[in-house]
A and B are shown apart, each in its own frame.
Chain A
Amino acid sequence: MTTATKPASGAAGPTTAVRPSLKVPASLGVLSLVALVFFGFLGPAKTAEMKVSEQGDAIALPALQIPGQAGGIVLAILLLAMAAYSIYLWNQGERSPKWLPIAFAVVFVFALLVWIVAGAREPSISLAGLIAGSVTLAVPLVFGSLSGVLCERVGVVNIAIEGQLLGGAFTAALVATVTHNAYVGLLAAAAAGALVSMVLAVFSIKYLVNQIIVGVVLNVLVSGLTGFLFGTVMAPDKELFNTPARLDILPIPFLSDIPIIGPILFEQSVAGYLMYVAVAVVWVGLFKTRWGLRVRAVGEHPQAADTLGINVNATRFWNVTLGGAIAGIGGAIFTLVTIDSFTKEISGGRGFIALAALIFGRWNPIGAFLASLLFGFAYNLQSILGIIGTPVPSQFMAMLPYLVTIFAVAGLVGRSRPPAASGIPYVKG
C-alpha cells in the first residue's frame, strides 16, 4: 500500500497544496451508506447467533447474540464514522491512514455476516469454525500470492500460479505416496513448482517471449500433463500412486485452546505454520534487506540496477524460481492437508484468485496475506450459506472475490500500481 500510493503524490508536482485522491474517502462513504440502508434500515428482524467457542474448549465463552436490524444500524454508524474521518482528513489535505480501509473492511464484512446470518433460515453459525475454515482455505492462496509477489516485484508477471499450484499438488500426492513420507512430498512439491517457474523464467528471460503468453500456456501445459499422468498412472493404481501420507495437524498445547485465535494460529499443519513464517520472511526480505532492495530495484528500474552492477536477469531467474517453489508448497496443501488424494484440476482456479489477492494486496506480502484471508473467508461463507439457507444465492457470493478484484484493479478502491518494469523483458544495452 505504501509503495503504491506514495509515488503518486510525488508525481503530482512541486505545488504544495495538492489534495490526495478522493477515491478512498468517496468509496468508503458510498459503502457505509449502502450498509446503513441494507444492513440497517432494511435489516432482518431475527437475531443472529454466533458461537465463539467450540464445545470442549478449555475456555468456554457464551455465544454472541446480535439482533439483525439494531446490530446493522450500530455497525453502519461505525462505518459512517470511519468514512467521515476519512473525508475529514481529505478535507485537511491529508491521506487516510493505512489501517483505515482495513478496519473498514473488517467491520463491513462483519455487518454483512450479521445481515446474512440473521436473514437465514437457521440464524446461527459457529464464528470460530467460520474463521478457522477461512484460514484453512486461504493457505494455498497465501502461498500462491506470495509467489506472485516475488515474481512481480522482480519484474516478471506470473500468470502461471495456477500451474504451479497444480504441479505442486500432483507431485506432492505422487511422491508422498511412493515414499510414504509427507515431508518428502512437500519438498517434491516445492521442486515441481520451481520447475514450472524455471520454464516461465527461461522463456520470458532468455527467449523474451511475452510473459503473459508463457504463463497462460504453462497453465494449460501443467493441466494437460497432470491430467494425462493422472489418467495413465494414478487412476489405474490408486493404492500405489495416489494415497499420500498426510501432514498431521500439530496443535500447540494450551495456546490452541484460546477461542478463535487458537485454532487459526496454533492448530495448524506444518505447512500452515510455514505460511506465517513465509509471509514474515518475504516481507522482511523484500523491505528490510539488501537482497530485497536489489530485487525491487530490478523490478522498478532494471537499467539503473544493471548500472549499479546487479545482474538483472540472474536476479529475475532465481526470484521467479523461488516464487515457484513457494507456490508448489501451496499446491501440496490440497493433496497433503485438505483432500486425501489428487484429482484432475484439483486447484480449481485458485491460482487466479491468488493473482487477484496479490493485486488486491498491492504487491505487498502482508497485503496479499490479508487479501487471501478475505477470499478464503468468501469461499468458506459460500459453502456455509448453502447449509444455513440464505436469500442470497451462493453463486453471487462466489462471484464476490472476482468482482472485488475488478473494482480493485479499476482503482475504485484506491490506486493499485504494479512494479514499473513488471512484464517488460530486459535487454542489455
Chain B
Amino acid sequence: MTTKDSNPQAGPEDGPGPEKESGAEVQAADVALDTAGGTLEPSLVPVSTQSGDTGHQQGPVLRRIVMGNGFVSVLAVFVALVLGGILIASTDPAVARTAGYFFARPSDFLSALWSAMTRSYVALFQGSVFNPRQGFSPLLETMTVATPLICAGLGVALAFRAGLFNIGAQGQIIISATLGAYAGFAWHLPLVLHLLVVIVMGVIGGAAWGAVVGLLKARTGAHEVIVTIMLNYVALFLLDFLLNTEAFRRPGDVSPISPRLDDSAVYPQLIPGSRLHLGFLVAVALTAGVWWLLNRSTIGFEFRAVGANPAAARTAGVNVQAATILVMAAAGALAGFGGIAQVAGTEKVLTGGVAAQIGFDSITVALLGRSTPWGTFFAGLLFGAFRAGAVQMQIQTGTPIDIVLVVQSLIVLFIAAPPLIRSIFGLNPGRKKRAKTAVKAAVATGGAK
C-alpha cells in the first residue's frame, strides 16, 4: 500500500518538486541539529519531540496546532485506518462483484465499498470499546490487553530518550515472565509477600537481560539493535528449553505448559466479570514514575543528555557508560513489569507464547507515543484496543487479525514522516505559493534538474 503511495515521489533525481521543498527543509534543519551536521549518528528520537523549541514551530496558535505533532499523529492514525479499509475492501467479494458492473450501477459498488470498509472497523470498535449488548465492558478487556503493552512501551521509550534502540523488549518480557512464573508456581508463600516476590523476581530478570545489552554497548560498542535482536531469540529458545524440563512442566504432563500460578501470586482482579487486574494500576503508576524520572530527576536529565548528544554529555561530566547500562537495566525492568502483567495477571500460566507479539508491538507503541511517558500510555491503550477488538472483528466479519499489524505499522510510518502527512493534507503553510512557482519552473524547464 505504502509503496504505491510513495513511489511516485521516490525518484531521487526528481528536481526540487513541491513535496521535496515542503518536507525536507523543515526536517533537514532537525536532522542537522540531531546529527551535528552529519558527524554524529542520528538520535533515535527526533529533536522535535524532545523538550525545547527547534525554531520552526512558531507562529499563530492555529498554525502551531496544525503543524504540531499531536495533530499530525491524529491525521496519521486516520490515514492509516483509511488505507487499511481500502485493503479490506480490495479483498472483499461483494466489492469485487459490484466492481464488475461498476459503470452500469456505480451506487452498488460504492455502497459495497463503504460497507466493507466500515463493517470491520465497527466490529473492531464493538470489540474494544462499546457495544449495545455488553455496554462498556469491552473497554475493560482493552485495558487488560494494553497493560503489558504500556509497561514494555515505557521501557522502549525510556531507552529511546537515552538514544538507545531497545528492540529487546520481547526477550526481556520472556525472561521476566519465566522467572516470575517460576516463583509463582514453585514457591508457596503468604498472601501479599508472594506477589511481591513474583514481581521482584520478574523485574530483576528483565533488568538483567536489559543490562547485558547496556554493558556490551558501553564496554565494547556492540550495537544494541543487533544484540537485542539476538537476545530475543536466545530468550525464546531458553524458554522453550525450560518448558521441556521437569521443573517447569505440569506433573505428569508432556505438553510445554507450566502449572497455574498460586492464587497468592497473581494480581487481584479489579472488576468482577472482567480480566482487568491490578497490573493496570501498576502500569499507570509506572507511567507517572517514568514521567517524574525523565522530567524531574537528575538521572533522567542525564539520560536525556546522553540521548541528545553523548559527546556533550561526557564533556559536561555525565558518566555515559554508567548511564547506558543503567538506562538499559531500567528499560528491561519496565518490560519486566509487562512480563509479570502477562503471567501474574492475564494468562496466569507460562507458555511458549507468553510474550506473544507484545515486545514488538511495544516498539510501535513507544514510537506512536513519541517516547513521552503519557504519549506511550495512550498509544498503548490504542494498540490494546486494536488487539482486543481484532479478535471480535475476526469472529464477526472474518477479516484476519493481521490487518491490525498493517494499520499499526502504517501509523508509525506516517508519524515518523510528518512532512508526508502534511503534504497529503496540503498542510504546509506558507509554502504553497512557492510550491506552485516551483512546479511552474519545473514545467518551464521541461522537468530538467
> Which positions in A face B, CB cutoff 8 Å?
159, 195-196, 198-199, 201-203, 205-210, 212-214, 216-218, 220-221, 223-233, 302-303, 311, 313-314, 316-317, 344, 349, 352, 355-356, 359, 393, 395-396, 398-399, 402-403, 405-406, 409-412, 418, 423-427
* Bound-state Cα–Cα, A413 to B291, Å: 40
Take A224-B405, A352-B229 as given contacts and tell me if A208 and B413 are in contact as well, using a CB distance cutoff of 8 Å. Answer: no
Any chain A CB within 8 A of the CB of B137? Answer: no
Neighbour of B400 across the interface among A210, A218, A232, A303, CB < 8 A: A232
Among B195-203, B219-227, B325-333, the stretch that binds chain A is B219-227
Contact status B3-A199, CB under 8 Å: yes
Among B9-17, B177-185, B312-320, B372-380, the stretch that binds chain A is B9-17
Which A residues touch B403, using CB under 8 A? 224, 228
Of all chain B residues, which has the CB nearest A344?
A: B402
Q: How many residues in B have their beta carbons less than 8 Å from beta carbons of A?
A: 70
Of all chain B residues, which has the CB nearest A167?
A: B3
Contact status B230-A427, CB under 8 Å: no
**Closest chain B CB from A287 CB (angstroms):** 24
Some 24 contacts from A to B, beta carbons below 8 A apart, are A198-B6, A198-B10, A201-B10, A202-B10, A206-B24, A208-B30, A210-B46, A220-B364, A221-B406, A221-B413, A224-B405, A227-B402, A227-B405, A231-B402, A233-B91, A311-B13, A314-B13, A352-B229, A402-B234, A405-B226, A406-B227, A409-B222, A410-B227, A427-B37
Contact status A411-B220, CB under 8 Å: yes
**Closest chain B CB from A226 CB (angstroms):** 8
> Which among A198, A199, A218 has the greatest number of chain B C-beta atoms within 10 A?
A199
* Bound-state Cα–Cα, A224 to B46, Å: 26
Which B residues touch A426, using CB under 8 A? 38
Contact status A229-B91, CB under 8 Å: yes
**Closest chain B CB from A224 CB (angstroms):** 3
* Bound-state Cα–Cα, A262 to B219, Å: 45
Which B residues touch A229, using CB under 8 A? 91
Contact status A220-B400, CB under 8 Å: no
Any chain A CB within 8 A of the CB of B129? Answer: no
What mask results when residues 72 to 100 of chain B are scored 1 for a CB within 8 Å of chain A, else 0?
Answer: 00000000000000010001000000000
User: 5 closest pairs, A vs B, by CB?
Assistant: A224-B405, A227-B402, A231-B400, A221-B409, A207-B417
Which A residues touch B2, using CB under 8 A? 199, 221
Of all chain B residues, which has the CB nearest A198?
A: B10
Contact status A427-B3, CB under 8 Å: no
Contact status A202-B9, CB under 8 Å: yes
Of all chain B residues, which has the CB nearest A353?
A: B233
Of all chain B residues, which has the CB nearest A393?
A: B241
> Which among B40, B226, B237, B240 has the greatest number of chain A C-beta atoms within 10 A?
B226
Which A residues touch B400, using CB under 8 A? 227-228, 230-232
Which B residues touch A227, using CB under 8 A? 400-402, 405
Q: Which of B201-237 contact A (CB under 8 A)?
A: 216, 219-223, 225-227, 229-231, 233-234, 237
Which B residues touch A216, using CB under 8 A? 167, 360, 363
* Bound-state Cα–Cα, A290 to B31, Å: 31
Which A residues touch B28, using CB under 8 A? 208, 427
Neighbour of B237 across the interface among A198, A303, A396, A424, CB < 8 A: A396
* Bound-state Cα–Cα, A251 to B398, Å: 45
Contact status B12-A205, CB under 8 Å: yes
Which B residues touch A232, using CB under 8 A? 91, 399-400
**Closest chain A CB from B108 CB (angstroms):** 21
Contact status B12-A311, CB under 8 Å: yes
**Closest chain B CB from A301 CB (angstroms):** 10
Take A202-B10, A208-B24, A406-B230 as given contacts and tell me if A411 and B416 are in contact as well, using a CB distance cutoff of 8 Å. Answer: no
Using A393-B241, A409-B226 as known contacts, list a sample of 20 further A-B pairs with CB atoms less than 8 Å apart, ordered by residue number in A.
Answer: A159-B225, A195-B3, A201-B10, A208-B28, A208-B31, A209-B416, A209-B417, A213-B367, A232-B91, A303-B38, A402-B230, A402-B234, A406-B222, A406-B230, A409-B216, A424-B38, A424-B40, A424-B41, A424-B42, A425-B31
Contact status A225-B413, CB under 8 Å: no
Which B residues touch A213, using CB under 8 A? 44, 165, 367, 412, 416
> Which positions in B face A, CB cutoff 8 Å?
1-3, 6-7, 9-10, 12-13, 20, 23-24, 27-28, 30-32, 35, 37-38, 40-42, 44, 46, 87, 91, 165, 167, 216, 219-223, 225-227, 229-231, 233-234, 237-238, 240-241, 244, 360, 363-364, 367, 399-410, 412-413, 416-417, 419-420
Of all chain A residues, which has the CB nearest B357?
A: A220
**Closest chain A CB from B3 CB (angstroms):** 5
Contact status A196-B3, CB under 8 Å: yes
Which A residues touch B44, using CB under 8 A? 210, 212-213
Which A residues touch B3, using CB under 8 A? 195-196, 198-199
Take A212-B44, A356-B226 as given contacts and tell me if A220 and B409 are in contact as well, using a CB distance cutoff of 8 Å. Answer: yes
**Closest chain A CB from B91 CB (angstroms):** 4
Which A residues touch B23, using CB under 8 A? 206-207
* Bound-state Cα–Cα, A303 to B7, Å: 26
Which A residues touch B238, using CB under 8 A? 395, 399
**Closest chain B CB from A34 CB (angstroms):** 20
**Closest chain B CB from A300 CB (angstroms):** 13
Which B residues touch A355, using CB under 8 A? 226, 229
Contact status B87-A228, CB under 8 Å: yes
**Closest chain B CB from A358 CB (angstroms):** 10
Take A207-B419, A220-B364, A410-B220 as given contacts and tell me if A402 and B413 are in contact as well, using a CB distance cutoff of 8 Å. Answer: no
Of all chain A residues, which has the CB nearest B367?
A: A213
* Bound-state Cα–Cα, A418 to B221, Å: 12
Contact status A203-B24, CB under 8 Å: no
* Bound-state Cα–Cα, A412 to B220, Å: 9
Contact status A217-B405, CB under 8 Å: no
* Bound-state Cα–Cα, A202 to B420, Å: 11
Contact status A223-B405, CB under 8 Å: yes
Contact status B409-A217, CB under 8 Å: yes
Contact status B6-A317, CB under 8 Å: no
Contact status A409-B227, CB under 8 Å: yes
Contact status B226-A220, CB under 8 Å: no
Contact status B241-A349, CB under 8 Å: no
Contact status A398-B417, CB under 8 Å: no
* Bound-state Cα–Cα, A224 to B28, Å: 31
Contact status B42-A220, CB under 8 Å: no
Contact status B226-A411, CB under 8 Å: no
